[in-house]
Structures are given as C-alpha cells and as structure tokens.
Amino acid sequence: MGTPYSAILTLMVTAGVINVIMGIYVFFYRAKQSMSKTFIAFTLLSAVYVFGSTLELSSSTLVEVKLWIKAEYFGMPFLPPLNLLLVMYFLGMDRLLKRPVRIAMFILPVITLVLVLTNDAHGLYYRSIELKQGASFLKANLNAGPWYIIAGAYTFGCMIGGVTLLLIYWNRMKSSYRLQHMTMLAALLLPLAGDFLYLGNLTPDGIDPIPAIMAVTSALYMWALAGRGMLNVVPIARDNLFESMSDSVLVLDLENRLVDYNPAAALVMPELSAQHLGMPIEELWRYYTDEPLANLVNGDLQDEREVIWTIGDRSYHYSVRSSVVRKSGGQVVGKLLILIDISEQVELQKQLHSLAFYDGLTGIYNRNHFLHMSEQLIAQSVASGGNFAVLLFDIDYFKRINDTYGHDVGDQALQHVVTVCRRMLRDGDVFARYGGEEFVVALPGMTLEEAGQAAERIRAEIADHPLVMPVESITITASFGVAAGDRQAAYEVKQLLKLADQALYDAKRAGRDRVCLAMRAPAYSI
C-alpha cells in the first residue's frame, strides 16, 4: 500500500488467512478433535475481527470506518469467552460446561454486538466516533460509552480467568503437553499485553495492536495444531479422568487415611462424604464388607480380591483392586483402591454353573451330572459291599397332554411330577431328568425289592395328585422300571440304566401306570 503501516496491515491480513486455514483444517478433521466446534468458531470469528480491523485501517471516509467497526464486532466480543472455553476444554473441565453455562457466557457479547450495530441511536457503546486529526493515515477517535467499560471488563475477566486456570494447572500437566500449554498461555498473555498498551495510549497513533498480535498467536496455534497435534490428543486433567471414572476409586495415604475419592465411590459408599477426608477409613470400610481392609492395603504389591459388598439390605459382588501410589522417585506414598461391580458376572457364572449341572425347566440334576454322581456312588457301594439301585420312570401319554393342552401345560406337568417325587425321596437320593418326560433316581443303600417298593410309593403319589388347572384337573400316571446291582461284584451305572429301561418297557407293554423290576446287573471285570 506504500504507507508506513503497510507491514501492520500485512500482518493483520496474514492473521486472518491463518485463522481461516485453521478453521477449514479442523472442520475436515473434526472427528479427531474433542473441542473442534469451539476451535472452529474461535478461528473463523477471529478472521472476521481481523479482516474487519484491516478494512477499518484501510478506509478513506468516516462512513467506511463505522461500517467496518460494526463488522469487527461480529467477531471480536465473542473471542474472549471462546478462548476461555478452549482453555477449560484443554484442562478437562468439561463437566463444568453445561449448556446453560455456555449460553450464559455469550449473553454479554450478544448484547455488545446489538449495541454496536445500533450505537448511532443511543451512544451506549461509543459516545462518539470522529476522525482523528494529525494521524499519518485515517484513524477514528472512539469515545467510550458506559457499555464499552462493561464489555471491556468482561473481556479482561475471560482472558485473565483463562491465564489463571492455565497457571493453576501448570504443575499438574504432563511434560508431554507443556508445549501445548505454553501455546495457549502465550495466546492469552500477548493480547492481554496489547490491550494494556492500547488502553494506556502507548501504541503508535493509537492503533489497536490486537489484530497484528493475532498474527503471532495464530501462527503459534497453527504450529501447535499441525506440528504437535494439539487437538488430536487433548490432555484430560486428573480431575476429569478421576471424576468421570465409572469404577469407584479411593486414594489412601500410608496410614490408611482417606486422601481422595471420586463420585462413583460415594455411590458405592453412601455414608462417604468430604468429612472423611484425612480420617482413617477402616471403620467405614467395615460398614460395607467383612473383608478386612488390611488384607488389601498391606504390602507393596498389587492385589485383587472379590468381596461381598452390602448397601442397605442388598448385597453385591465387588472386585477390589489395590495398587501402590509412588512419587516420581519410586517412594511409596499411598494406596489406590478401585472397586469394580462384578455382580452381573458372578450371577452369569452361577447361571452357567447351573446349566452345567441342572435341568433348566425342572431344577433337578441333568443327565450328565446324574451319570457322574452315580458312578461315584456305585464305586462307594462296591467298595463297602453296599446295595445300590436305580429307578427309571416315564410319564404316561405325555404327548397326549402336549397335543391336548399345549406345551406350556406339558412343562407344568413335568414340574408337577418333580414336585411330587421330591416329597417321596431321601436326602441321599439323586434325582435327575433323564430326557424329555423321562426321569431317573439313584437309590444308594437299597436292594432291588426295596427300590421297587419306593417306586410303587412314588407311582401311587403321582397318580393320587393330579395337576390342578384353572378349568380342570389333569390326572398323570407314570410307568417305572427298577434295577439293582450285585453287591458282590462291580458293575456300571450304564448297565443298571439299560436294565431299568428294559423293565420300564415291560411296564409300558403291560398297560402303564405300574412298576416292573429287572434282574440284577451282571458283573464285569475290573
């Protein structure tokens, strides 16, 4: 342009271009950035402010100056709160930035924009805008109104607030993020310094230095963004990580005094409050579990234990993991306890265990578990010279029940028979569902005749107790086959079951609802 201020204008244009480039860059890579929307708004509004300032300085009439001042304010009043938001996101303070808070932060900037656009009607922001005489180029003389002071105070508050937060979190930040930290600090301190110079009339011809300074801060942001991945991995401060963990965390010192805890711990330990900080935790710990705290926190090694955790009248299963907290030099300074609710996993394991050994419909043993237990009982009987018998029974005309009343009633019939049989069995008998409507009972200590008598009692009990339904009662009968082993020789449960099945077939063929006895199982060589 050929003026002494061409360099300043060039810097301002450069700042605007850099901001536009950064906004576009983040827009296309926003999936990687956690605070991208705020950063995009900051860069694009910065460009609006910078280009408006550039055009203001390039204006040749007062009308043009006023026009471009209004354009500047579509960006400038929003930058301080956006900068503060960026700092808070960077430090992991997202939990404080609820929607109402974010909206409130932009109420004053919106009012400022409206007042600037309508300033000619009220003069609340600028009492007057006049051409400055004697300047080496056209410059407006801005006489501040009352709202200018309010807006300026808010601007300084946001900027100083951001600087204060960055300084507070300086020692908490990992060294790998210090360059990003310094970039944000410089991006706040340089404009603050420029504002003080401008308000103190220490700048050449009273020029606002902020747009030119933004060339430097924008270059820093561009370097941090492209070269350091500033927004790709935004450091989450300890507070955010600690507070947002779904698992309960307790931090203890070497004397088992509570140093810190997260909100999840307060849910698991409802009695826990800030009053317990600095106090021994053992008494409160015993309120929820019988597992001694000393078993978890003694020693320098990591440990993990499953405990029963009681909250009110409900019990839960928790995995408690303990680890040591060390200083950078390796010195142990405390313990970290993490409580993980594993109640669902424990319940699932119980269900899987149940499915492995029990029939899902009736709740009695399944076939495989019956065979395993019976082999053990037979081995004991053979070793001691005792008696052992099995009875196999089948519900008569079960298919007719299913076809007539439906499978739901058929299931109820199976459950009804199991309930009746359980009343007739001894504690040591092994009762199982053999398959479909067929059941089997191992009777240790019984001879063939005794087992036959037991089968007759069960048969009569089933026949005498029909399944009572809302509309009618369904009479159920069963046919039984009984077999016993030879107490003088070894035999297998499969041999007994084969004989019992043959006897059951005889009972069916003889008219059902009866008990048939089989011959003794033949011996086999050991």
Give me the CATH number covering residue 110: 1.20.1070
Residue with tokens 């997260």: 262
- At which of 235, 263, 293 does a domain end? 235
H or E, element range at 316: strand 314-326
- Is residue 525 in some structural domain? no
Of the candidate ranges 31-45, 187-201, 371-385, the one whose mean pLDDT is the lowest = 31-45
Q: Are residues 402 and 497 located together in one domain of the fold?
A: yes
Answer yes or no: do 141 and 66 share one domain: yes
* Tens digit of each residue's pLDDT (9 = 90 or more) over 430-482: 999 999 999 999 999 999 999 999 999 999 999 999 999 988 899 999 999 99
Same domain, 367 and 487: yes
Return the pLDDT at 279: 83
Residues 26 and 127 occupy one common structural domain: yes
For 437, the domain range is 358-517
Residues 292 and 333 in one domain: yes
323 and 463 housed in the same domain: no
Over residues 497-524, the mean pLDDT reads: 86
CA pseudo-torsion sign 186, 188, 189, 191: positive
**Where does the pLDDT of residue 31 fall: very low under 50, low under 70, confident under 90, or very high at 90 and above?**
very low
- The residues with which 478 forms a beta bridge, in sequence order, are 395
Q: Are 259 and 378 part of one and the same domain?
A: no
Of 309, 344, 379, which residue constitutes the final position of a domain? 344
Residue 337 phi, psi (nearest 5) = -110, 125
Give how far Cα 78 sits from Cα of 46, 153, 320, 473, Å: 9, 14, 48, 80
Let me know if residue 524 belongs to a domain.
Answer: no
Looking at this protein, which amino acid is placed at residue 50? Answer: V
Tally Cβ neighbours within 10 Å of residue 79.
Answer: 22
Residues 405, 323 within the same domain = no
How far the first Cα of the chain sits from its last, in Å, is 111
pLDDT bucket at 241, cuts 50 / 70 / 90: low
2, pLDDT greater than 80: no
d(CA 374, CA 183): 76
432 assigned to some structural domain:
yes
Angle at 215 between CA 52 and CA 225, to 5 degrees: 115
Q: Is 152 helix (H, G, I), strand (E, B) or coil?
A: helix
Query: Is residue 143 classed as helix, strand or coil in its secondary structure?
Result: strand
Q: Which residue has the higher pLDDT, 337 or 140?
A: 337
Shared domain check, 183 and 39: yes
3-state DSSP call for residue 516? strand
What CATH number does residue 370 fall under? 3.30.70.270
Same domain, 95 and 48: yes
Tokens (6 digits) for 114 = 């409206």
Phi, psi of 389 (to 5 degrees): -140, 160
pLDDT band at residue 193 using 50, 70 and 90 as cut-offs: confident
Written as six digits, the tokens of 465 are: 């107790």
What would the pLDDT profile of 315-338 be if each residue is shown by its tens digit? Answer: 999 999 888 877 656 677 788 899
- Which of the residue ranges 44-53, 122-131, 348-357, 455-464 would you say has the lowest mean pLDDT? 348-357
Provide the number of structural domains found in the chain: 3
72 and 221 within one domain:
yes
Of 344, 373, 394, the last residue of a domain is 344
Contact status, residue 286 vs residue 271, Cβ threshold 8 Å: no
Whether residue 214 is found in the same domain as residue 252 = no
The answer to whether 181 and 170 have CB atoms below 8 angstroms apart is yes
410 falls within a domain: yes
Residue among 456, 522, 516, 467 at smallest CA distance from 490: 522
**Higher pLDDT, residue 75 or 304:** 75
